[in-house]
Chains A and B, each alone.
Chain A
Amino acid sequence: MITMLAQGYVVSLLVFSLTLLGSIPLGIVVAHGRLSRFAPIRLITQLYISIIRGTPLMLQMFAVFFMPFYVFGIKTGAGFKFIACIIAFIINYTAYFAEIYRSGIQSMPKGQYEAAQVLGYSRSQTFFRIILPQVIKRILPAMGNEIITLVKDTSLAFSVGVAEMFTESKALVASQRTMVPFMIAAAIYWVTCLLIEFCLSRAEKKLGYYHD
């Protein structure tokens, strides 16, 4: 039982980290699209964010999973369910992260941009050296919320048949006629979140060396 749950946990962690790896940087790109001076880009990103936030993640996962076959007539192999699941998670979390970045970027005082401009920083130097480090401090609590939600959302991968921890625990409950696998899985989710909360509060403390 423990080995099955452990194997599932590894898959859950994989979904979790691949999603963050994709959506944290992509969120910055989409946030810039959302703040673009070019109206079509702004509208497209706005529509994307609105649709993603307005529809269920599970539905999005099925859409990605079935799209190759129903739209393009391509038969996908067994490995595709994992890929589809990661793609759907990244598309989904990018939208939420983009909105958090956007609010953080917009909360920055104009004077920081002006000081950087006068000192001759290029636009990308200004963003990566001056703006982004301060934005990270401002959005850390909101990002923390999303990241903790993601830990539990990984269980939705069950719906497309990815054998993550929840899928495994459900199978164990059915075959062994006991609630114990669920309780162990719940404990593991909780401890994972505790660990993340600990990391987040350490990061917040580390960034607490200044205020503006």
Chain B
Amino acid sequence: MTNASALPAVSVRNARKSFGDKVVLHDVSLQIMPGEVVSMIGPSGAGKSTLLRCMTLLDRFDSATFSYGDLVVCSPNEQGHAVYSPEGTQESHNRFGIVFQNYNLFPHFTVMQNITDAPIVVQGRSRDEVEAEARELLERVDLTEHANKVPCELSGGQQQRVAIARALAMNPDVIYFDEATSALDPKLTADMQRIIRELASNGMAVGIVTHEMGFAKLVSDRIAFLFDGEIAEEGPAEQVIDHPRDPRTQRFLSQAED
């Protein structure tokens, strides 16, 4: 290993995943560096969601070398099967956060409790410290006056920002967005772009799964285009969107244009 700053915040190498006979991920490798925003795009069924589910440990790779920073989550054994380390699996929850497509906030908790419960209960941190931090987070996402409301009293965009604050309260190195902007109007989409760029400039690694090419191009440093369980093309955002090299990317983008 070289020095820690050169270590990707998250690294997946040679990932495979099948459901029965259907191969969903076929030798996928992806790294996100601290401070980098990477979008995963591609048609439905390309494997983006499965990749994200495996990276958030909601599902497991059949085979992969997978780590968060210096923390190894799984590596292949001699037969090539992924072996998950219990410590890596447990500790990884402190390394990443995710903003789900429909947010999945806890409806019976207030905004404040949604943000503070896991740091207090799971990470065992002191309530005072966590609540002070949560108030800062709420200010950052412009929700200070909503701290004591429950999620059903908030708009969709506000709920999404609670979900962001909830993920950030765990002090992760990586934050994922599943379809970050599919439910947002242009103004909220612009806000989201600002929030994501701000996170990255503070050193956070950001992974985004999206259908929206325009948003992906604006917000990302790098784009990975998935097709049939493979990364067909990967590169700087402008290049992949404006000058795609792979014929599958070209075809997909020309269909997406209208």
Identify the A interface with B (CB < 8 A): 109, 111-112, 114-115, 117-121, 125, 129-130, 133-134, 137, 209-212
Contacts A125-B122, A129-B117, A212-B152 given; does A120 touch B94 at CB 8 Å: yes
A212 to chain B: closest residue by CB: B107
Contacts A111-B104, A114-B100, A115-B100 given; does A209 touch B118 at CB 8 Å: no
Are the C-beta atoms of B152 and A211 separated by less than 8 Å? yes
Interface of A is mostly: helix
Are the C-beta atoms of B58 and A118 separated by less than 8 Å? yes
User: Which residues of the other chain, A, contact B166 by a CB distance below 8 angstroms?
Assistant: 119
A-B contact pairs, 29 of them (CB 8 A): A111-B102, A111-B104, A112-B106, A114-B58, A114-B104, A115-B100, A115-B105, A117-B57, A118-B56, A118-B57, A118-B93, A118-B96, A118-B98, A119-B97, A119-B118, A120-B90, A120-B122, A120-B123, A121-B121, A121-B122, A125-B121, A125-B122, A129-B117, A130-B106, A134-B108, A210-B107, A210-B152, A211-B107, A212-B152
Contacts A119-B170, A121-B121 given; does A209 touch B100 at CB 8 Å: no
Are the C-beta atoms of A118 and B97 separated by less than 8 Å? yes
Q: Beyond the given A118-B93, A120-B118, could you list 14 further A-B residue pairs with CB under 8 A, ordered by the A residue number?
A: A114-B104, A115-B104, A115-B106, A118-B58, A118-B97, A119-B93, A119-B97, A119-B118, A120-B93, A120-B123, A121-B121, A134-B107, A211-B152, A212-B152
Q: Report the bound CA distance from A115 to B56 in whole Å.
A: 10
A122 to chain B: closest residue by CB: B122
Are the C-beta atoms of A133 and B170 separated by less than 8 Å? no
- Which of B57, B108, B121 makes the CB contact (< 8 A) with A133? B108
User: Which residues of the other chain, A, contact B122 by a CB distance below 8 angstroms?
Assistant: 119-121, 125
Q: Report the bound CA distance from A109 to B103 in whole Å.
A: 12
Q: Report the bound CA distance from A120 to B166 in whole Å.
A: 12
Q: Report the bound CA distance from A117 to B100 in whole Å.
A: 13
Minimal beta-carbon separation of A48 from chain B (angstroms)? 31
User: Which residues of the other chain, B, contact A111 by a CB distance below 8 angstroms?
Assistant: 100, 102, 104
Q: How many residues of B contact A (CB 8 A)?
A: 26
Interface residues of B in 7-64 (CB under 8 A from A): 56-58
Contacts A112-B106, A120-B94, A137-B108 given; does A210 touch B121 at CB 8 Å: no
Q: Report the bound CA distance from A108 to B41 in whole Å.
A: 30
Q: Is B151 in contact with chain A by the CB < 8 A criterion?
A: yes
User: Which residues of the other chain, A, contact B100 by a CB distance below 8 angstroms?
Assistant: 111, 114-115
With a 10 A CB-CB cut-off, give which of A117, A129, A134 has the most chain B CB atoms: A129
Minimal beta-carbon separation of B253 from chain A (angstroms)? 31
Are the C-beta atoms of A112 and B150 separated by less than 8 Å? no
A114 to chain B: closest residue by CB: B58
Minimal beta-carbon separation of A123 from chain B (angstroms)? 12
A209 to chain B: closest residue by CB: B150
Q: Report the bound CA distance from A55 to B56 in whole Å.
A: 48
User: Which residues of the other chain, A, contact B98 by a CB distance below 8 angstroms?
Assistant: 118
Q: Report the bound CA distance from A129 to B170 in whole Å.
A: 18
B98 to chain A: closest residue by CB: A118
Minimal beta-carbon separation of A139 from chain B (angstroms)? 14
User: Which residues of the other chain, A, contact B107 by a CB distance below 8 angstroms?
Assistant: 134, 210-212
Minimal beta-carbon separation of B155 from chain A (angstroms)? 15
